[in-house]
Structure 1
């Protein structure tokens, strides 16, 4: 076992930066050190870990197998230390100018974000909320880019490898214009797959649950149009023969949907479950706790307005 009293944790910070930059000079510039200081730190780390860690190539420094082996644990350890230190610093919403990043499933962003923005402006007028697409990873070390998600989870399963709280589970409906040529027919899985769809991109929803359910039946839907925002879909349905799906509660939240025909999605196992997800390494930090509590409060308040 390494005696931590003799171990300089700054060496691990330099190690993670070299893994990212693959260049001594770039790391030196980023950390405000001289290249020789970074090289000396790497030399000390090589002795302590008994491994070369990096070797030079024409494209820059390449990590050894040992370096690739330990990087995830090192990043997780540094993240835990950072969170533990940050947790001792009191977050005051009214005084903070912090930047939070979130991913929000597009189906619910239309009714959630306006109320969330009003609440944030009232409590923390100087902070910034950066809404990122789901194409940015939020698995494992990717959580350094995202503070929280409101995401779709297939069926009634719970998300894995993250902390989560279920916000809502809702049935799914198929939408089309009332005078659609197939409006009078029973909605079956085969008919649903055959009709031309307008659907949200995976970057907007964060899930492929519908396509997975159809594939399990040997079916594939006809995606005539893929868009990145729900906002344009209802108007398309009113003027074309396209169909789309939505959470049932959205019928009460978007007045345009009152003019459309809604039928149950003929994929019984599919439920739109919306979960708030976050990195367990961040949950004790006071600013992060405020963010999650605010999301939950706003979401619950919006849902109560449409419940009978």
Structure 2
């Protein structure tokens, strides 16, 4: 490496042209230099290599044995540098066998992922997806050490590390879920009725930001009664199906549970906040063609959309 610090790497391109052509003028044209600049470069190469490199003979300039020995190695070095500096190849999803790991909420896993994966089976059959539960570690060290490629579904109200890249993903309005046999709850709740009911409260494991519903209530100096706190929407829905409690959750998730469990959707109090969800990735991998493809595929997928 010490020798390289004193060497102009541009001279490697000039060396390759000179020894390939064995002609100063043609070599100059090949690398877009004047003949005088090429002659000057040849003198620098001769001095550095301590070898004439090109020698005039009866048949014109001829490369020395030293120059011929160097030529294939110089060509390999130039090819390696060229490949190293070249832009990454476009990601070919149809041919790729890449494995991606996504850390996500169970909203993404239950509502979005099944239909998204079905589409990927058609457009990117060799691509494999690993899904794990979203945690604080997912959005910190795991993104940086690349054991997680993307974090999907983070509530935009959470405190996200400033160095991470956040992208808006989708917004969902919130509804309430009640058991079908829960006759004490009508199909629409006033704010006071909402406060008087026992709640199964969902919270995720990212950051320390309060649940958006609780933040909304606190802004009005109000609070609801947390009977149960859970990190899993399915657990919350099953509790609701068997008790008099309600859960507040995104509409598409509530709709899914209505197909699976004896529960029903109840209209929440007016002005209930909307939940905005984001996709996170690490800036170290901002230009990774595969991750760009995956992010865009997730953002463009609309198979989850069902009118309320």
TM-score class, shorter-chain normalisation, is: 0.5 to 0.7
2:197 matched to 1:195? yes
Q: How has the CA–CA distance of structure 1 residues 280 and 302 changed in structure 2, closer, same or farther, with 3 Å as cutoff?
A: same
Residue 282 of structure 2, aligned match among 275, 279, 282: 279
2:124, 2:103 → 1: CA distance? 19
Q: Out of 267, 285, 289, which is 1:263 matched to?
A: 267
Superposed displacement of residue 161, structure 1: 4.8
> How far did residue 140 of structure 1 move?
5.5
Structure 1 unaligned runs (5+)?
A: 7-83
SS at structure 2 position matched to 1:122? helix
- Give the structure, 1 or 2, with the largest relative contact order (CA under 8 Å, sep 6 or more): 1
Structure 2: distance between partners of 1:297 and 1:231: 26
8 Å Cα contact 1:204-1:229 kept in structure 2: no
Q: Check conservation: 1:87, 1:286, Cα contact below 8 A.
A: no
Contact 1:154 1:209 in 2 (8 A): no
CA contact (8 A) 1:86 1:285 kept: no
- Whether contact under 8 Å (1:204, 1:228) holds in the other structure is no
Counterpart position of 1:106 = 106
Paired position in structure 1 for 2:143: 143
What SS does the corresponding residue of 1:276 show, helix, strand or coil? strand
2:303 counterpart SS class = helix
Q: Distance in 2 between matches of 1:141 and 1:238?
A: 38
Residues 165, 283 of structure 2: 8 Å contact kept: yes
Counterparts of 1:202-241 in structure 2, within 5 Å, are 202-203=204-205, 208-241=211-244
Note the aligned Cα RMSD (angstroms): 3.9
Write the distance in 2 (CA, Å) between the matches of 1:109 and 1:224.
25
The secondary structure found in structure 2 opposite 1:234 is: helix
Deviation at 1:211, TM superposition (A): 3.0
Cα 1:257–1:164, aligned 2, differ >3 Å: closer, same or farther? Answer: farther
CA deviations over 1:218-239 (Å, ceiling 9, x no partner) = 4444333333432344343232
**Scaled by the length of structure 1, what TM-score is found?**
0.57
Runs (5+) with no aligned partner, structure 2: 7-83
Q: C-alpha distance in 2, partners of 1:253/1:185?
A: 18
Shift of 1:243: 0.7
Classify the secondary structure of the residue corresponding to 2:110: helix
Larger radius of gyration: 2
State whether residues 187 and 263 of structure 1, in contact with CA within 8 Å, keep that contact through their aligned partners in structure 2.
yes
Distance 1:272 1:85, change over 3 A: farther
